[in-house]
A and B are shown apart, each in its own frame.
Chain A
Amino acid sequence: MSAAVSEGRRPATPSTTEPAWVRRSLIALALVFLTLFLFVPLAAVFVEALKKGLQVYWAAITEPDAVSAIRLTMIAALVAVPLNLVFGIAAAWAIAKFDFRGKNVLLTLIDLPFSVSPVIAGLIYVLVFGLQGWFGEWLRDHDLKVIFALPGIVLATVFITFPFVARELIPLMQAQGTEQEEAARVLGAGGWQMFLRVTLPNVKWALLYGVILCNARAMGEFGAVSVVSGHIRGQTNTMPLHIEILYNEYQFAAAFAVASLLAGLALVTLLVKFLVERRIQRSTISV
């Protein structure tokens, strides 16, 4: 955002600017809003987390239940992100470079997780794989547990983070067209050579950006995971769920301590995103 604004910066002319007092009050309003709704809450997380000292903080994030929640969140993200990376590239490739029947249906399907409430997404999996669901009995007979277990959490996370990579790649790939790929083919490149040497380098920054967003969402997802997890402490609690439980039990310092980890992750994500965006801008300006 900020990069895009500064790029279009021009000396203000009387015809496009407002009186100084209007400008100043608009800026002040925006700053007050940002402070109240973004900076204060973020600061509050860290302040609350460290209120009772570093020792309490450390204890809160190293107690077995917290460690288990952190591990589970990591596992879910580690499965969901690579899966959606592969899926996103494949879908974007198909949509951007080929014409086929049902292309718009596929596009709409990719957007489905954005438009469906996460809680509904979780419920869908309960209805399909839960004990009373379609495959419930079959799964029980074969001693497979999906709902209230790791597979369910991973499934819900994959579903929720489905669109991020594909959505990031499709517009860019569409804009780039197929000429470079055709050039590569004519020059004798095989399918993989074309993909690895031409297509992938052309979208690498957008791809990284998509992965960052996908990862942030995978780790932070609450609604869908909450429905399928069953909240079993030390077993099926992810970080967001663990935080909720701690908070409900009035263990504020511990809740904020774990929350600070997620918030820290968000900040790191934003930083990486900012750096990547700067890269994207440089490479698109130069092309």
Chain B
Amino acid sequence: MSIQVRNLNKRFGATVVCDNLNLDIGDGELVALLGPSGSGKTTLLRIIAGLEVPDSGSVLFHGEDATSADVRERKVGFVFQHYALFGHMTIFENVAFGLRVKPRDVRPSEATIRAKVMELLTLVQLDSIAGRYPHQLSGGQRQRIALARALAVEPKMLLLDEPFGALDARVRKELRRWLRRLHDEVHVTSVFVTHDQEEAMEVADRIVVMNQGRIEQDGPPDEVYDRPATPFVLQFLGDVNVFHGRLGSAAGKDGEISFVRPHELDVVPAAAPGTVEATLVQALTVGPNTRLEFRRSADQSFVDVEMARSDWMALRDRLGLATGSTVHLLPRKVTRFAAEDVDFDPAAMI
């Protein structure tokens, strides 16, 4: 089922959380709503689900206006950040809930319910613990049960609110892949909210980047990363160095700000067109990567360079680099925005 959002507005008191949003989500797509906290992504998701009422604008399911439809009629599956499992029910009963509360005339028989629930528990690989209670499960298991519960009513779409937010790093990674695989199997239209750009890039077909109630960019992960539409998107999707004024070999205009990602800077021994002179302040190696911190000679600002650890070893030996060495940095790829577009404080995003 496709979802269309038209001219959607929502405010909480004086705060605008959805500022005239327009969005199209195709049938069977897996879309990530990505943004910092307070960007309106969760509110948008809750409005689509019917848990929140917009001030104006409409939500259409498959072209049909669903704005005033009750939550129950929307047939959506919703997965909450903190699982929202029913603590007094067994895992089996949690998953069966959506089937048991159906009106009598359409309620499946006990045998059908049992078969359906066990099928879903097998799908989320937790069929062996149907008789346990939610508190006896780990976070990752609970979230899988929450997913199975949402899928039990055969929703037309699956909405996930920071589904992996409360889990530790390793489990998150596992569940991401698992969600991706599940979507490839079930093919239900899915929208998930996240503030983790890595998660969005890894799982989604398409990323919708949101900031302050507006959609900054909407596109496939590679496009959003490689061709950011706004300085915000550029900065939100990964670390970036900011250079004021001219930089790189292309003719830069005055009043432009240039952005270069740390892994898109080469360290060269001699000055060349487009290079920047800098002094090595420190080198930090974390796992397979090394992060070099430089200080620009021109304005004393810091520049980060990232490379594989082995590349750093080779470079260090070749150029005889040590803390305090002066080198030149050559950007391979520069993204420029007019200075007036860059109206936010990068430090505020940390």
Contacts and interface: CB of A to CB of B under 8 A. Distances in A.
A83 B206 CA distance: 55
Nearest to B74: A186
Interface in A257-287: 283, 286-287
Interface string B62-103: 000000000110001110101011111000000001100110
A193 B78 contact: no
Given A202-B87, A287-B87, A188 B82 contact: no
Given A183-B78, A186-B51, A189-B72, A197 B84 contact: no
Question: For the side of the interface on A, what is the size category?
Answer: 10 to 19
Question: For the side of the interface on B, what is the size category?
Answer: 20 to 34
Contacts of B135: 286-287
9 closest residue pairs by CB, A with B: A187-B98, A179-B84, A183-B84, A189-B101, A186-B78, A201-B88, A287-B87, A185-B71, A193-B101
Contacts, number: 65
Contacts of B102: 188
Given A187-B101, A190-B101, A193-B101, A182 B84 contact: yes
B80 A182 contact: yes
Interface in A11-40: none
B71 A197 contact: no
B174 to A, nearest CB: 24
A198 interface: yes
A85 to B, nearest CB: 20
B302 interface: no
Contacts of B51: 182, 185-186
A193 B153 CA distance: 16
A180 interface: yes
Contacts of B88: 201-202, 283
Interface centre among A185, A186, A188, A190 (most CB of B within 10 A): A186
A184 interface: yes
A283 B78 CA distance: 26
Interface in A187-238: 187-190, 193, 197-198, 201-202
B59 to A, nearest CB: 15
Interface string A164-194: 0000000000000001101111111110010
A187 B80 contact: no
B228 to A, nearest CB: 34
Contacts of A180: 84-87
Nearest to B101: A189
B61 interface: no
B147 interface: no
B261 interface: no
Given A185-B72, A188-B72, A190-B72, A179 B82 contact: yes
